[in-house]
Structure 1
Amino acid sequence: MTDRQDELEAQFTQWRHYVQRRRELRQSDADELEDHLRGSVDELVAAGLRPDEAFLVAVKRMGSLDDLSHEFAREHSERLWKQLVLTGDTDSSVTNTRSRRDLLAMAACAAGAAVSVKIPELFGLSFEEDGAFYGPNAGLFALPWLAAFLAWRRHATKALVGVLLALFALGAVAANVYPLADDSQSVVLTSIHLPIALWFVVGLAYVADDVRSSRRRMDFIRFTGEWFVYSVLIALGGGVLTAFMFGTFEAIGISPDTFLAQWLLPCGAAAAVVVAGWLVEAKQSVVENIAPVLTRLFTPLFTAALLAFLVTLGVTSAGIDVEREALILFDLLLVVVLGLLLYSISARDPLAPPALFDKLQLALVVSALLIDVLVLLEIAGRISEYGATPNKAAALGENIILLANLAWSAWLVLRLVRRRAPFAALEHWQTIYLPVFAVWAWIVVLAFPPLFNYF
């Protein structure tokens, strides 16, 4: 096969996977549609078009499948899909009806999240005095409502809804049944890892229309990045609103401290989790232009920062501090690097040839990999010398998981840059590795407290 034939087959595979996800189409229907598409492509190639151009034009010309092609283009952000497919008129009445339904569902779920934050106060728990309760339970106030909105929008089956409810119930049990002291390390670990574990439950709701699809998992990675961008924008707007409210009420002799601290901030933050998810779903075309730019901006900056850190470490021969705050900092740094890699993968044209940005990503991943190895050596040395604690054990496991991901990612990016492996191999590796992060987060939440005697 030539390179163009390989690219054409990759496009057929992408189309076939999308069509097979449509529940209204039987397998025989999908096969017939693909035969029709292949015939159209052959005719266009014979007329003088390149295979990739012929494929895109053939999809546009499929007539009765125009709505299906339109949805396919919306879920795949590649430029040519949008140019060639998103050009026809759409049924504005259907679109407006669906938008209104989504808006009402979002408003109901956002209100539910805001109310959930205040329910513990009915049992005498307050933000000021019961931080040991609100920390581990923070993810349980809003994330179930975001999952509910996504599951409703994806028409999740009753069986999957039952799984979602069971996982959120398990998270609630893990956050509240263990006899943990306020200063226990396990309280901090649960506060950090339970939201991560529950976010993957949200991911299960997001891929409810095709749980086993690697492409849908990559879509969830894209959703995560875009949700983060919108959440930051909402937080910035909320900060401005809070400042104006405080200043204007102070000017007339009324202090809004209690309202802001006990109502606006907690309820607004919980509702914003759902609103950001709705914005990603409803306004995807807006953030699609922002997030890839941010990725390309921060990738070279983080690469330069990591290289500078490695050079400084080598010149000074200073050891790495592996106390709790430093462990959290290094793990966050590695997670940010992985996040930049994942989001750039989700936004990349899978058929584009290797470019300078891919080489820059290779430098970023290799730098993070070296830092991960150094941190692992320090953690292993401290554990062998002073014994294991929940913090060090959790950091050890997380860095091993990140090491495996970054090491193989570096190898695949290297092969991609050298044109020895397709981009699909890197994308597939990241999608099959996602459950590893979810499983580890649940292990820390469920197994670590009793394993370390609730310390």
Structure 2
Amino acid sequence: MTAREGQEELEAQFRQWRQYVQRRRELQPSDADELEDHLRGSVDELVAVGLSADEAFLVAVKRMGSLDELSREFAREHSERLWKQLVLTGEAGSPAADTRSRRDLWAMVICAAGAAASIKVPELFGLRLADDGAFYARNFTLFALPWLAVFLAWRRQARRPLIGTLVALFGLGAVAANAYPLAEESKSLVLTSIHLPIALWLVVGLAYVADDWRSSRRRMDFIRFTGEWFIYFVLIALGGGVLSLFLFHTFNAIGIIPQEFISQWLLPCGAVAGAVVAGWLVEAKQSVVENIAPVLTRLFTPLFTAALLAFLVAVVWTSHGINVEREALILFDLLLVVVLGLLLYSISARDPLAPTGLFDKLQLALVVSALAIDVLVLLAITGRITDEYGTTPNRAAALGENVILLANLAYSAWLLLRFIRRRTPFAALERWQTGYLPVYAVWAWTVVLLFPPLFSYV
């Protein structure tokens, strides 16, 4: 079968699927368009990792089958025929797919080795991890994320303009991390160490979405990638911790203390290489139908909702204000980011056509609780700034971040409420969240580039 014939067969399968979808009288043509867009995007991703068109369509339909009964009916009627095609033609586990998997593996190994080697390069210039903690704190992600971006750009076959943009942005990050005279006790150093990874991670997002950065669907795919990458990275880190303990105690038992090897080689090199390996693992499992997002959101949303409500009750009961020192500000901002992450993952995992239920109302309670805490933090920060304490880099950064989170959470709560009352489609909430990502990128770069000189590098 030629490529043209294969594409025609694939389009015929899309037409059959759309006819099934349009049997639902309550579905508008725009709803069918959105579902088809998701299906086509899933097929494109699976083809990109080496599956044939028929394989990709089968797996994508199975994924859609988890969304609604109509797609399940379609999957039941057509999956058997497709599986027979795959078995008879021998395309499952085809040489092309195996070749692509091996290429991905070697690309990952090269990029991971590059990341591990790059973190040792500063030692050639006399900068050691044990003695120059400030340098490594602000540059750590610059040793890992560019290599992850290289791997993703290679897989996406990124064009030269995008590659040039990635190089320029990572170069800008390197300049911002090293050009300013920041002392080890500088507050601006802490802000740079926190915000530069955020800015650079969104640069990785450009490599992930490649030339389709305007697509709301692709931006949501990057959000899914972020969550799954984080989980894999944590698992790798836990495994690395166990390996380190094993090495230390076993060698110590024979009179050899490998502390320097572990602290100066194994842990730093493993950490930056693990960032690339985690990205490869997420990409390699795209052909797996199961998704961990629903499990995580269903488990942690009720727990975080209860925790936030308990905190608000305690605030009212004790009449205690919120401490706005640096550690407390970081803690509350992380809490709000976790809430936002739960919301994003629930959006990515939810069937847009499913009726509203108890979990949607629970999410609304979670967002409203986070919104109330954000308001309390903002009141505490502005109170400190307007009093005799004045403005510091930490308070200014926290103020901006909480204002940004306030706008995001407030409109998200409004859209959730309208969705629960059946006045707004669920897709509006997804578009709002993915469209808001550039706001975080702009703020992160603002803190990294402008705050140090604005506050005299203190």
Q: TM-score, normalised by structure 1?
A: 0.86
Return the alpha-carbon distance in structure 2 between the equivalents of residues 287 and 366 of structure 1. 33
Contact 1:226–1:287, Cα closer than 8 Å, also in 2: no
Contact 2:39–2:61, Cα closer than 8 Å, also in 1: no
Return the alpha-carbon distance in structure 2 between the equivalents of residues 74 and 159 of structure 1. 36
Return the alpha-carbon distance in structure 2 between the equivalents of residues 4 and 401 of structure 1. 40
* Matching residue within 61, 66, 69 for 2:57: 69
* Matching residue within 351, 358, 364 for 2:366: 364
The amino acid of 1:302's aligned partner reads F
Return the alpha-carbon distance in structure 2 between the equivalents of residues 305 and 125 of structure 1. 43
Contact 2:329–2:398, Cα closer than 8 Å, also in 1: yes
Return the alpha-carbon distance in structure 2 between the equivalents of residues 254 and 74 of structure 1. 54
Q: Which residue of 1 aligns with 2:245?
A: 243
Q: Which secondary structure does the structure 1 equivalent of 2:108 belong to?
A: helix
The amino acid of 2:119's aligned partner reads V
Contact 1:193–1:444, Cα closer than 8 Å, also in 2: yes
Please report how far the alpha carbon of residue 139 of structure 1 lies from its aligned counterpart in structure 2 after TM superposition: 1.0
* Matching residue within 2, 10, 13 for 2:34: 13
Q: Which residue of 1 aligns with 2:438?
A: 435
Counterpart check, 1:401 vs 2:404: yes
Return the alpha-carbon distance in structure 2 between the equivalents of residues 77 and 449 of structure 1. 51
Q: Which residue of 2 aligns with 1:419?
A: 422
* Matching residue within 335, 349, 352 for 1:347: 349
The amino acid of 1:454's aligned partner reads Y
Q: Which residue of 1 aligns with 2:392?
A: 389
Contact 2:63–2:289, Cα closer than 8 Å, also in 1: no
From the superposition, tell whether residues 17 and 217 of structure 1 become closer, same or farther in structure 2 (CA, over 3 Å): same
Q: Which residue of 1 aligns with 2:49?
A: none
Return the alpha-carbon distance in structure 1 between the equivalents of residues 187 and 450 of structure 2. 13
The amino acid of 1:429's aligned partner reads W
Please report how far the alpha carbon of residue 399 of structure 1 lies from its aligned counterpart in structure 2 after TM superposition: 0.0
User: For 1:151-162, what aligned pairs fall within 5 Å after superposition?
Assistant: 151-162=153-164
Please report how far the alpha carbon of residue 291 of structure 1 lies from its aligned counterpart in structure 2 after TM superposition: 3.4
Return the alpha-carbon distance in structure 2 between the equivalents of residues 371 and 67 of structure 1. 47
Q: Which residue of 2 aligns with 1:4?
A: 25
Q: Which residue of 2 aligns with 1:222?
A: 224
Q: Which secondary structure does the structure 2 equivalent of 1:4 belong to?
A: coil
Please report how far the alpha carbon of residue 356 of structure 1 lies from its aligned counterpart in structure 2 after TM superposition: 1.2
The list of structure 1 runs, each at least 4 consecutive aligned residues, that deviate by more than 6 angstroms after superposition, is 20-23, 74-77
Q: Which residue of 2 aligns with 1:150?
A: 152
Q: Which residue of 2 aligns with 1:337?
A: 339
Return the alpha-carbon distance in structure 1 between the equivalents of residues 250 and 405 of structure 2. 48
The amino acid of 1:339's aligned partner reads G
The amino acid of 1:15's aligned partner reads E
Return the alpha-carbon distance in structure 2 between the equivalents of residues 4 and 221 of structure 1. 32
Question: Unaligned stretches of 5+ in structure 2?
Answer: 1-21, 45-51
Contact 1:369–1:407, Cα closer than 8 Å, also in 2: yes
Please report how far the alpha carbon of residue 91 of structure 1 lies from its aligned counterpart in structure 2 after TM superposition: 3.8
Q: Which secondary structure does the structure 1 equivalent of 2:370 belong to?
A: helix
* Matching residue within 183, 186, 196 for 2:185: 183
Counterpart check, 1:274 vs 2:295: no
Q: Which residue of 2 aligns with 1:54?
A: none
Please report how far the alpha carbon of residue 67 of structure 1 lies from its aligned counterpart in structure 2 after TM superposition: 5.3
> Aligned residues, how many?
415
The amino acid of 1:10's aligned partner reads D
From the superposition, tell whether residues 75 and 162 of structure 1 become closer, same or farther in structure 2 (CA, over 3 Å): farther
Return the alpha-carbon distance in structure 2 between the equivalents of residues 77 and 130 of structure 1. 54
Q: TM-score, normalised by structure 2?
A: 0.86
Q: Which residue of 1 aligns with 2:121?
A: 119
Return the alpha-carbon distance in structure 2 between the equivalents of residues 308 and 157 of structure 1. 51
Q: Which residue of 1 aligns with 2:413?
A: 410
Contact 1:7–1:351, Cα closer than 8 Å, also in 2: no
Please report how far the alpha carbon of residue 439 of structure 1 lies from its aligned counterpart in structure 2 after TM superposition: 0.6
Return the alpha-carbon distance in structure 2 between the equivalents of residues 69 and 277 of structure 1. 24
The amino acid of 1:414's aligned partner reads L
Q: Which secondary structure does the structure 2 equivalent of 1:208 belong to?
A: helix
Return the alpha-carbon distance in structure 2 between the equivalents of residues 8 and 67 of structure 1. 27
Return the alpha-carbon distance in structure 2 between the equivalents of residues 347 and 21 of structure 1. 14
From the superposition, tell whether residues 20 and 320 of structure 1 become closer, same or farther in structure 2 (CA, over 3 Å): closer
Counterpart check, 1:98 vs 2:100: yes
Let me know the Cα RMSD of the aligned residues.
2.4
Return the alpha-carbon distance in structure 1 between the equivalents of residues 65 and 119 of structure 2. 36
Q: Which moved more, 1:64-73 or 1:227-236?
A: 64-73
Contact 1:21–1:209, Cα closer than 8 Å, also in 2: no
Return the alpha-carbon distance in structure 2 between the equivalents of residues 307 and 288 of structure 1. 32
Q: Which residue of 2 aligns with 1:55?
A: none
